[in-house]
Amino acid sequence: MTIALYDLVGADEARPFSPHCWKIAFALAHKELEFKSMPVRFTEIGKIESGAFKTVPAIRDGERLCVDSFQIALYLEETYPDLPPLFAGEGSKALSRFIEKWAQATLTGYIGPSLVLDVHDALGPADQEYFRGSREKRFGRTLEETARGREERLEGFRASLLPLRLMLSEQQFIGGQRPLFADYIVAGIFQWARVISPFPLLAAEDPVAAWFERCLDLHGGIGRRVPAAC
Amino acid sequence: MTIALYDLVGADEARPFSPHCWKIAFALAHKELEFKSMPVRFTEIGKIESGAFKTVPAIRDGERLCVDSFQIALYLEETYPDLPPLFAGEGSKALSRFIEKWAQATLTGYIGPSLVLDVHDALGPADQEYFRGSREKRFGRTLEETARGREERLEGFRASLLPLRLMLSEQQFIGGQRPLFADYIVAGIFQWARVISPFPLLAAEDPVAAWFERCLDLHGGIGRRVPAAC
Protein backbone atom coordinates (compact mmCIF):
# COMPACT_ATOMS: atom_id res chain seq x y z
CA MET A 1 0.00 0.00 0.00
CA THR A 2 1.25 3.47 -0.84
CA ILE A 3 2.42 5.47 2.17
CA ALA A 4 1.23 9.08 2.38
CA LEU A 5 3.94 11.58 3.33
CA TYR A 6 2.59 14.92 4.51
CA ASP A 7 5.16 17.18 2.97
CA LEU A 8 5.61 20.90 3.63
CA VAL A 9 5.31 23.20 0.61
CA GLY A 10 5.02 26.90 -0.05
CA ALA A 11 3.22 28.67 -2.87
CA ASP A 12 4.44 26.04 -5.36
CA GLU A 13 3.22 22.64 -4.25
CA ALA A 14 5.67 20.89 -6.57
CA ARG A 15 8.54 22.13 -4.39
CA PRO A 16 8.47 20.48 -0.96
CA PHE A 17 11.25 22.11 1.03
CA SER A 18 11.19 21.04 4.69
CA PRO A 19 14.50 19.49 5.79
CA HIS A 20 12.69 17.05 8.06
CA CYS A 21 10.24 16.01 5.34
CA TRP A 22 13.15 15.46 2.96
CA LYS A 23 14.80 13.19 5.52
CA ILE A 24 11.72 11.00 5.27
CA ALA A 25 11.36 11.20 1.48
CA PHE A 26 14.95 9.92 1.27
CA ALA A 27 14.25 7.29 3.95
CA LEU A 28 11.12 5.97 2.23
CA ALA A 29 12.96 5.78 -1.10
CA HIS A 30 15.86 4.03 0.66
CA LYS A 31 13.41 1.46 2.02
CA GLU A 32 12.05 1.03 -1.53
CA LEU A 33 8.57 1.83 -0.21
CA GLU A 34 5.97 3.38 -2.49
CA PHE A 35 4.92 6.74 -1.19
CA LYS A 36 3.02 9.80 -2.30
CA SER A 37 4.05 13.29 -1.27
CA MET A 38 0.92 15.07 0.02
CA PRO A 39 1.56 18.82 -0.14
CA VAL A 40 0.71 20.70 3.05
CA ARG A 41 1.18 24.37 3.80
CA PHE A 42 2.25 25.73 7.21
CA THR A 43 -1.26 26.96 8.00
CA GLU A 44 -2.83 23.64 6.94
CA ILE A 45 -0.82 21.30 9.17
CA GLY A 46 -3.40 21.43 11.97
CA LYS A 47 -6.15 20.35 9.57
CA ILE A 48 -4.66 17.14 8.19
CA GLU A 49 -5.80 13.77 9.55
CA SER A 50 -8.49 15.42 11.70
CA GLY A 51 -5.98 17.53 13.57
CA ALA A 52 -3.70 14.64 14.54
CA PHE A 53 -0.49 16.58 13.97
CA LYS A 54 1.11 19.86 14.87
CA THR A 55 4.20 19.27 12.75
CA VAL A 56 5.32 17.55 9.59
CA PRO A 57 6.68 15.21 8.42
CA ALA A 58 3.89 12.83 9.28
CA ILE A 59 2.98 9.67 7.46
CA ARG A 60 -0.06 7.48 7.02
CA ASP A 61 0.88 3.86 6.43
CA GLY A 62 -2.41 1.99 6.05
CA GLU A 63 -4.16 2.44 9.38
CA ARG A 64 -1.10 3.76 11.14
CA LEU A 65 -0.10 7.38 11.62
CA CYS A 66 3.39 8.46 12.65
CA VAL A 67 4.90 11.91 13.19
CA ASP A 68 8.43 13.32 13.73
CA SER A 69 11.24 12.49 11.34
CA PHE A 70 13.31 10.43 13.74
CA GLN A 71 10.28 8.53 15.03
CA ILE A 72 9.17 7.82 11.48
CA ALA A 73 12.61 6.46 10.60
CA LEU A 74 12.50 4.19 13.67
CA TYR A 75 8.95 3.11 12.71
CA LEU A 76 10.02 2.24 9.17
CA GLU A 77 13.01 0.26 10.41
CA GLU A 78 10.89 -1.72 12.85
CA THR A 79 7.94 -2.24 10.49
CA TYR A 80 10.02 -3.17 7.44
CA PRO A 81 13.07 -4.98 8.85
CA ASP A 82 13.65 -6.95 5.64
CA LEU A 83 13.96 -3.85 3.46
CA PRO A 84 17.31 -2.01 3.21
CA PRO A 85 18.33 -0.85 6.67
CA LEU A 86 18.17 2.79 7.73
CA PHE A 87 20.21 2.14 10.87
CA ALA A 88 21.93 -1.25 10.54
CA GLY A 89 21.85 -2.08 14.22
CA GLU A 90 20.81 -0.68 17.56
CA GLY A 91 24.00 1.28 18.14
CA SER A 92 23.44 3.38 15.06
CA LYS A 93 20.04 4.51 16.37
CA ALA A 94 21.67 6.19 19.36
CA LEU A 95 24.60 7.55 17.35
CA SER A 96 22.23 8.98 14.73
CA ARG A 97 20.84 11.17 17.52
CA PHE A 98 24.25 12.71 17.97
CA ILE A 99 24.43 13.41 14.24
CA GLU A 100 20.95 14.91 14.37
CA LYS A 101 22.08 17.29 17.10
CA TRP A 102 25.30 18.10 15.27
CA ALA A 103 23.28 18.93 12.17
CA GLN A 104 20.85 21.01 14.23
CA ALA A 105 23.60 23.01 15.92
CA THR A 106 25.94 23.37 12.95
CA LEU A 107 23.79 23.32 9.83
CA THR A 108 20.38 24.57 10.97
CA GLY A 109 22.11 27.03 13.28
CA TYR A 110 23.55 28.78 10.23
CA ILE A 111 21.07 27.95 7.47
CA GLY A 112 17.92 28.70 9.46
CA PRO A 113 18.64 32.37 10.08
CA SER A 114 20.53 32.86 6.82
CA LEU A 115 17.77 31.58 4.53
CA VAL A 116 14.80 32.75 6.56
CA LEU A 117 13.83 35.41 4.02
CA ASP A 118 14.16 32.92 1.15
CA VAL A 119 11.73 30.61 2.94
CA HIS A 120 9.37 33.50 3.56
CA ASP A 121 9.46 34.52 -0.10
CA ALA A 122 8.59 30.98 -1.24
CA LEU A 123 5.35 30.91 0.79
CA GLY A 124 1.81 31.96 -0.10
CA PRO A 125 0.29 35.04 1.62
CA ALA A 126 -1.41 33.30 4.57
CA ASP A 127 1.73 31.28 5.32
CA GLN A 128 3.93 34.35 5.01
CA GLU A 129 1.97 36.05 7.76
CA TYR A 130 2.19 33.00 10.04
CA PHE A 131 5.87 32.47 9.25
CA ARG A 132 6.93 36.07 9.81
CA GLY A 133 5.05 36.22 13.10
CA SER A 134 6.34 32.95 14.52
CA ARG A 135 9.95 33.36 13.34
CA GLU A 136 10.28 36.98 14.39
CA LYS A 137 9.12 35.88 17.84
CA ARG A 138 11.59 32.97 17.86
CA PHE A 139 14.58 35.02 16.71
CA GLY A 140 13.57 38.17 18.58
CA ARG A 141 14.08 40.40 15.53
CA THR A 142 12.78 40.91 12.02
CA LEU A 143 13.41 38.35 9.31
CA GLU A 144 15.49 40.94 7.48
CA GLU A 145 17.69 41.50 10.53
CA THR A 146 17.95 37.75 11.10
CA ALA A 147 19.29 37.04 7.61
CA ARG A 148 21.69 39.97 7.58
CA GLY A 149 25.40 39.15 7.59
CA ARG A 150 25.06 35.66 6.16
CA GLU A 151 27.87 36.35 3.68
CA GLU A 152 30.20 37.32 6.52
CA ARG A 153 29.28 34.19 8.46
CA LEU A 154 29.62 31.84 5.47
CA GLU A 155 33.33 31.16 5.92
CA GLY A 156 32.77 30.14 9.53
CA PHE A 157 29.90 27.89 8.49
CA ARG A 158 32.01 26.15 5.87
CA ALA A 159 34.79 25.68 8.42
CA SER A 160 32.30 24.10 10.83
CA LEU A 161 31.76 21.24 8.36
CA LEU A 162 35.27 19.96 9.09
CA PRO A 163 34.10 16.78 10.88
CA LEU A 164 32.10 15.73 7.82
CA ARG A 165 34.96 16.67 5.51
CA LEU A 166 37.49 14.67 7.53
CA MET A 167 35.16 11.67 7.57
CA LEU A 168 34.62 11.86 3.81
CA SER A 169 38.34 11.37 3.28
CA GLU A 170 37.84 7.85 4.59
CA GLN A 171 34.32 6.81 3.56
CA GLN A 172 31.74 7.68 0.91
CA PHE A 173 28.77 8.14 3.23
CA ILE A 174 28.17 8.75 6.92
CA GLY A 175 26.76 5.21 6.82
CA GLY A 176 30.02 3.91 5.35
CA GLN A 177 30.03 2.42 1.85
CA ARG A 178 26.27 2.95 1.64
CA PRO A 179 24.02 5.66 3.06
CA LEU A 180 22.05 5.27 6.27
CA PHE A 181 19.45 7.51 7.88
CA ALA A 182 22.33 9.54 9.33
CA ASP A 183 23.15 10.64 5.77
CA TYR A 184 19.56 11.72 5.19
CA ILE A 185 19.54 13.70 8.42
CA VAL A 186 22.30 15.86 7.00
CA ALA A 187 21.33 15.69 3.31
CA GLY A 188 17.75 16.70 4.13
CA ILE A 189 19.06 19.97 5.52
CA PHE A 190 21.23 20.68 2.49
CA GLN A 191 18.26 19.81 0.26
CA TRP A 192 16.15 22.37 2.15
CA ALA A 193 18.74 25.01 1.31
CA ARG A 194 19.01 23.79 -2.30
CA VAL A 195 15.25 23.96 -2.89
CA ILE A 196 14.68 27.26 -1.13
CA SER A 197 17.60 29.46 -2.16
CA PRO A 198 20.37 29.92 -4.74
CA PHE A 199 22.68 31.10 -1.93
CA PRO A 200 26.01 29.25 -2.47
CA LEU A 201 26.22 27.34 0.76
CA LEU A 202 29.04 24.99 -0.25
CA ALA A 203 32.18 25.71 -2.22
CA ALA A 204 32.16 23.68 -5.44
CA GLU A 205 35.41 21.90 -4.59
CA ASP A 206 34.31 20.93 -1.07
CA PRO A 207 34.13 17.13 -0.56
CA VAL A 208 30.89 17.85 1.32
CA ALA A 209 29.41 19.15 -1.95
CA ALA A 210 30.49 15.94 -3.73
CA TRP A 211 28.88 13.86 -0.98
CA PHE A 212 25.64 15.85 -1.29
CA GLU A 213 25.65 15.28 -5.05
CA ARG A 214 26.01 11.54 -4.35
CA CYS A 215 22.98 11.78 -2.04
CA LEU A 216 21.01 13.54 -4.78
CA ASP A 217 21.89 10.70 -7.16
CA LEU A 218 20.47 8.05 -4.83
CA HIS A 219 17.22 6.18 -5.40
CA GLY A 220 16.64 7.25 -8.96
CA GLY A 221 17.68 10.80 -8.23
CA ILE A 222 14.68 11.48 -5.99
CA GLY A 223 16.33 14.59 -4.60
CA ARG A 224 16.75 16.05 -8.10
CA ARG A 225 13.06 15.79 -8.92
CA VAL A 226 12.82 19.27 -7.48
CA PRO A 227 15.20 21.55 -9.39
CA ALA A 228 17.53 23.77 -7.38
CA ALA A 229 16.29 27.27 -6.63
CA CYS A 230 17.53 29.92 -9.01
CA MET B 1 44.99 -14.53 28.64
CA THR B 2 45.78 -11.00 29.76
CA ILE B 3 45.96 -8.47 26.92
CA ALA B 4 48.91 -6.07 26.96
CA LEU B 5 48.02 -2.44 26.25
CA TYR B 6 51.01 -0.31 25.30
CA ASP B 7 50.06 2.87 27.05
CA LEU B 8 51.71 6.27 26.69
CA VAL B 9 53.14 7.80 29.86
CA GLY B 10 55.38 10.71 30.81
CA ALA B 11 57.81 10.98 33.70
CA ASP B 12 55.29 9.27 36.02
CA GLU B 13 54.51 5.86 34.63
CA ALA B 14 51.44 5.55 36.85
CA ARG B 15 49.76 8.30 34.82
CA PRO B 16 48.97 7.14 31.28
CA PHE B 17 47.59 10.17 29.46
CA SER B 18 47.13 9.51 25.74
CA PRO B 19 43.53 10.09 24.62
CA HIS B 20 43.78 7.26 22.13
CA CYS B 21 45.19 4.85 24.71
CA TRP B 22 42.40 5.79 27.10
CA LYS B 23 39.83 4.98 24.42
CA ILE B 24 41.23 1.45 24.43
CA ALA B 25 41.55 1.15 28.19
CA PHE B 26 37.83 2.01 28.41
CA ALA B 27 37.05 -0.37 25.52
CA LEU B 28 38.93 -3.28 27.08
CA ALA B 29 37.20 -2.70 30.42
CA HIS B 30 33.85 -2.46 28.60
CA LYS B 31 34.54 -5.85 26.99
CA GLU B 32 35.39 -7.19 30.46
CA LEU B 33 38.76 -8.33 29.16
CA GLU B 34 41.72 -8.62 31.49
CA PHE B 35 44.48 -6.28 30.43
CA LYS B 36 47.70 -4.84 31.69
CA SER B 37 48.76 -1.30 30.97
CA MET B 38 52.38 -1.40 29.76
CA PRO B 39 53.87 2.05 30.20
CA VAL B 40 55.70 3.40 27.15
CA ARG B 41 57.33 6.79 26.68
CA PHE B 42 57.26 8.74 23.41
CA THR B 43 60.88 7.91 22.65
CA GLU B 44 60.36 4.21 23.42
CA ILE B 45 57.45 3.52 21.06
CA GLY B 46 59.76 2.40 18.23
CA LYS B 47 61.42 -0.15 20.48
CA ILE B 48 58.37 -2.14 21.64
CA GLU B 49 57.52 -5.46 20.00
CA SER B 50 60.76 -5.39 17.94
CA GLY B 51 59.84 -2.12 16.28
CA ALA B 52 56.37 -3.23 15.15
CA PHE B 53 54.72 0.10 15.93
CA LYS B 54 55.21 3.79 15.32
CA THR B 55 52.22 4.83 17.45
CA VAL B 56 50.27 3.76 20.49
CA PRO B 57 47.82 2.46 21.52
CA ALA B 58 48.89 -0.97 20.42
CA ILE B 59 47.90 -4.25 21.98
CA ARG B 60 49.24 -7.78 22.18
CA ASP B 61 46.48 -10.33 22.52
CA GLY B 62 48.21 -13.72 22.69
CA GLU B 63 50.01 -14.04 19.37
CA ARG B 64 48.18 -11.14 17.77
CA LEU B 65 49.32 -7.54 17.61
CA CYS B 66 47.01 -4.66 16.72
CA VAL B 67 47.63 -0.92 16.47
CA ASP B 68 45.45 2.24 16.10
CA SER B 69 42.57 2.88 18.49
CA PHE B 70 39.76 2.47 15.98
CA GLN B 71 41.31 -0.67 14.48
CA ILE B 72 41.77 -2.13 17.96
CA ALA B 73 38.12 -1.46 18.80
CA LEU B 74 37.04 -3.20 15.58
CA TYR B 75 39.41 -6.08 16.37
CA LEU B 76 37.98 -6.49 19.86
CA GLU B 77 34.41 -6.43 18.54
CA GLU B 78 35.18 -9.06 15.91
CA THR B 79 37.30 -11.27 18.15
CA TYR B 80 34.99 -11.14 21.17
CA PRO B 81 31.48 -10.90 19.71
CA ASP B 82 29.87 -12.48 22.77
CA LEU B 83 31.24 -9.88 25.18
CA PRO B 84 29.42 -6.53 25.64
CA PRO B 85 29.27 -4.75 22.28
CA LEU B 86 31.41 -1.71 21.50
CA PHE B 87 29.42 -0.89 18.36
CA ALA B 88 26.11 -2.82 18.48
CA GLY B 89 25.81 -3.28 14.75
CA GLU B 90 27.53 -2.43 11.50
CA GLY B 91 25.93 1.00 11.14
CA SER B 92 27.47 2.22 14.35
CA LYS B 93 30.98 1.41 13.06
CA ALA B 94 30.59 3.93 10.24
CA LEU B 95 28.82 6.52 12.41
CA SER B 96 31.53 6.21 15.07
CA ARG B 97 33.94 7.48 12.43
CA PHE B 98 31.93 10.67 12.17
CA ILE B 99 32.08 11.07 15.94
CA GLU B 100 35.82 10.43 15.84
CA LYS B 101 36.22 13.25 13.32
CA TRP B 102 33.93 15.56 15.28
CA ALA B 103 36.02 14.90 18.39
CA GLN B 104 39.23 15.47 16.46
CA ALA B 105 38.06 18.76 14.98
CA THR B 106 36.24 20.10 18.01
CA LEU B 107 37.95 18.64 21.09
CA THR B 108 41.49 17.92 19.96
CA GLY B 109 41.43 21.10 17.89
CA TYR B 110 41.12 23.12 21.08
CA ILE B 111 42.69 20.86 23.71
CA GLY B 112 45.78 19.90 21.71
CA PRO B 113 47.20 23.42 21.39
CA SER B 114 45.80 24.61 24.73
CA LEU B 115 47.36 21.87 26.85
CA VAL B 116 50.54 21.39 24.85
CA LEU B 117 52.72 22.89 27.56
CA ASP B 118 51.03 20.78 30.25
CA VAL B 119 51.85 17.66 28.23
CA HIS B 120 55.42 18.84 27.79
CA ASP B 121 55.83 19.47 31.50
CA ALA B 122 54.61 15.96 32.35
CA LEU B 123 57.33 14.29 30.27
CA GLY B 124 60.85 13.17 31.16
CA PRO B 125 63.85 15.04 29.66
CA ALA B 126 64.37 12.89 26.54
CA ASP B 127 60.66 12.97 25.71
CA GLN B 128 60.48 16.69 26.30
CA GLU B 129 63.13 17.25 23.65
CA TYR B 130 61.34 15.00 21.15
CA PHE B 131 57.94 16.50 21.96
CA ARG B 132 59.02 20.12 21.69
CA GLY B 133 60.76 19.48 18.38
CA SER B 134 57.93 17.55 16.76
CA ARG B 135 55.10 19.77 18.05
CA GLU B 136 56.80 23.05 17.28
CA LYS B 137 57.31 21.74 13.74
CA ARG B 138 53.64 20.66 13.55
CA PHE B 139 52.22 23.92 14.90
CA GLY B 140 54.82 26.13 13.24
CA ARG B 141 55.53 28.04 16.47
CA THR B 142 56.83 27.52 19.99
CA LEU B 143 54.83 25.51 22.51
CA GLU B 144 54.45 28.67 24.56
CA GLU B 145 52.95 30.57 21.61
CA THR B 146 50.72 27.63 20.77
CA ALA B 147 49.14 27.50 24.22
CA ARG B 148 48.73 31.26 24.53
CA GLY B 149 45.18 32.59 24.52
CA ARG B 150 43.52 29.39 25.67
CA GLU B 151 41.49 31.29 28.27
CA GLU B 152 40.12 33.60 25.57
CA ARG B 153 39.22 30.62 23.35
CA LEU B 154 37.59 28.65 26.19
CA GLU B 155 34.12 30.11 25.76
CA GLY B 156 34.10 29.22 22.07
CA PHE B 157 35.27 25.71 22.88
CA ARG B 158 32.49 25.21 25.41
CA ALA B 159 29.95 26.52 22.88
CA SER B 160 31.23 24.03 20.32
CA LEU B 161 30.09 21.17 22.55
CA LEU B 162 26.45 22.05 21.82
CA PRO B 163 25.73 18.90 19.76
CA LEU B 164 26.77 16.71 22.67
CA ARG B 165 24.84 18.87 25.14
CA LEU B 166 21.66 18.73 23.03
CA MET B 167 21.98 14.96 22.70
CA LEU B 168 22.46 14.54 26.45
CA SER B 169 19.05 16.13 27.04
CA GLU B 170 17.60 12.98 25.44
CA GLN B 171 19.95 10.14 26.31
CA GLN B 172 22.53 9.26 28.94
CA PHE B 173 25.33 8.19 26.62
CA ILE B 174 26.25 8.66 22.97
CA GLY B 175 25.51 4.94 22.76
CA GLY B 176 22.02 5.51 24.21
CA GLN B 177 21.15 4.01 27.58
CA ARG B 178 24.56 2.38 27.75
CA PRO B 179 27.94 3.53 26.50
CA LEU B 180 29.46 2.37 23.24
CA PHE B 181 32.90 2.94 21.74
CA ALA B 182 31.62 6.33 20.50
CA ASP B 183 31.46 7.42 24.16
CA TYR B 184 35.04 6.32 24.74
CA ILE B 185 36.22 8.21 21.65
CA VAL B 186 35.04 11.41 23.30
CA ALA B 187 35.68 10.46 26.93
CA GLY B 188 39.26 9.41 26.10
CA ILE B 189 39.97 12.96 25.01
CA PHE B 190 38.46 14.51 28.14
CA GLN B 191 40.44 12.01 30.21
CA TRP B 192 43.65 13.12 28.49
CA ALA B 193 42.87 16.69 29.58
CA ARG B 194 41.90 15.54 33.10
CA VAL B 195 45.15 13.60 33.62
CA ILE B 196 47.47 16.18 32.11
CA SER B 197 46.17 19.53 33.35
CA PRO B 198 44.07 21.24 36.02
CA PHE B 199 42.82 23.68 33.36
CA PRO B 200 39.01 23.91 33.84
CA LEU B 201 37.86 22.66 30.45
CA LEU B 202 34.20 22.15 31.36
CA ALA B 203 31.91 24.33 33.45
CA ALA B 204 30.75 22.37 36.50
CA GLU B 205 27.07 22.73 35.59
CA ASP B 206 27.55 21.58 31.99
CA PRO B 207 25.65 18.34 31.19
CA VAL B 208 28.79 17.32 29.30
CA ALA B 209 30.66 17.37 32.62
CA ALA B 210 27.97 15.13 34.17
CA TRP B 211 28.25 12.72 31.23
CA PHE B 212 32.05 12.59 31.63
CA GLU B 213 31.64 11.86 35.34
CA ARG B 214 29.32 8.96 34.36
CA CYS B 215 32.04 7.71 32.03
CA LEU B 216 34.60 7.90 34.83
CA ASP B 217 32.25 5.82 37.01
CA LEU B 218 32.06 3.00 34.45
CA HIS B 219 33.74 -0.38 34.81
CA GLY B 220 34.73 -0.05 38.43
CA GLY B 221 35.81 3.54 37.97
CA ILE B 222 38.77 2.63 35.76
CA GLY B 223 39.11 6.25 34.64
CA ARG B 224 39.47 7.42 38.24
CA ARG B 225 42.40 5.12 38.97
CA VAL B 226 44.53 8.01 37.79
CA PRO B 227 43.73 11.08 39.92
CA ALA B 228 43.03 14.34 38.13
CA ALA B 229 45.99 16.66 37.61
CA CYS B 230 46.33 19.37 40.21
pLDDT tens profile A143-189: 999 999 999 999 999 999 999 999 999 999 999 999 999 999 999 99
Query: The domain that contains B169 carries what CATH number?
Result: 1.20.1050.10
In a domain, A84, yes or no: no
Residues A56 and A168 in one domain: no
CA distance A26 to A33: 10
Residue type, B106: T
> Tens digits of per-residue pLDDT, B125-144?
999 999 999 999 999 999 99
The minimal CB distance from B166 to the residues A85, A94, A104 is found for A104
CA dist A41 and A191 (Å) reads 18
Assess B200–A contact: CB distance below 8 Å, yes or no: no
Question: For residue B102, what is the nearest residue in chain A, using CA coordinates?
Answer: A163
The C-alpha atoms of residue A43 and residue A118 are separated, in whole angstroms, by: 18
Chain B positions in Cβ-Cβ contact with residue A171 (cut-off 8 Å): 94, 97
Contacts 24+ apart (CB under 8 A), B138-142: B139/B113
Residues within 8 A of A (CB atoms), B 119-178 only: 162-164, 166-167, 170-171, 173-176
CA of A66 vs chain B CAs: smallest distance (Å): 20
Residues paired with A230 in a beta bridge: none
- Same domain membership, residue B103 and residue B31: no
Q: What is the pLDDT of residues B194-225, one digit of tens each?
A: 999 999 999 999 999 999 999 999 999 999 99
Domain count, chain B: 2
The per-residue pLDDT for A1 is 85
ipTM above 0.85, yes or no: yes
Q: Report CB contact under 8 Å: A91, B164.
A: no
Number of residues that this document lists for chain A: 230
- Binary contact (A182, B98; C-beta < 8 A): yes
Strands (E), chain B: 3-8, 35-40, 58-61, 64-67
pLDDT digits 0-9 by tens, B41-68:
999 999 999 999 999 999 999 999 999 9
Residue of chain A whose Cα is closest to the Cα of B107: A163
In a domain, A85, yes or no: no
Co-location of A104 and A172 in the same domain: yes
Same domain flag for A65 and A121: no
- pLDDT over 70 for what percent of chain A? 100
Supply the pLDDT for residue B175. Answer: 98
User: In which domain, by residue range, is A63 found?
Assistant: 3-79
